[in-house]
């Protein structure tokens, strides 16, 4: 699949999920958290394309990691919403943030 086609497909498959909907994927150990400064579609495309150099760089920088128990407890308490996209077998997420209005 061409890079552009892949990104268009992944963008179309990106959506919002509540923690309650994401919780079962966390229980299966397949939730990957992308830092807010990363483009979720780009990360998913790199994972689908098996771009291990980019993935390892983000992991090393602490910008991409498997969701952990501490995060799950926090999410359970706050019930946030996430942007999510599947890059099988992983579910990539970023917490939806509301911009601060001054």
pLDDT tens-place string over residues 64-99: 999 999 999 999 999 999 999 999 999 999 999 866
What pLDDT shows up at residue 84? Answer: 96
What are the pLDDT digits (tens) for 27-47?
999 999 999 999 999 999 999
What pLDDT sits at residue 2?
Answer: 64
The domain ranges of the chain are 3-95
Please, which residues have CB within 8 angstroms of residue 78's CB and are 6 or more apart in sequence? 19
Instruction: Please tell me the distance from the alpha carbon of residue 10 to that of residue 44, in angstroms, as a whole number.
Output: 7
The helix/strand/coil state of 3 is: helix
Note the pLDDT of residue 32: 98
Q: Which residues contact 3 (CB under 8 A, 6 or more apart)?
A: 45, 49
The encoded tokens of residue 54 equal 């980019």
pLDDT at 100: 52
Q: What global pTM score does this model have?
A: 0.89
């Amino acid at each position: 699949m061409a890079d552009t086609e892949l990104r268009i497909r992944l963008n179309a498959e990106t959506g919002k999920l509540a923690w309650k909907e994401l919780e079962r994927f966390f229980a299966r150990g397949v939730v990957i958290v992308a830092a807010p400064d990363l483009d979720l579609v780009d990360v998913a495309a790199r994972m689908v394309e098996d771009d291990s150099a980019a993935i390892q760089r983000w992991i090393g920088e602490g910008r991409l990691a498997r969701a952990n128990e501490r995060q799950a407890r926090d999410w359970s308490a706050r019930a946030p919403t996430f942007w999510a996209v599947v890059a099988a077998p992983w579910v990539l997420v970023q917490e939806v943030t509301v911009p601060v209005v001054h």
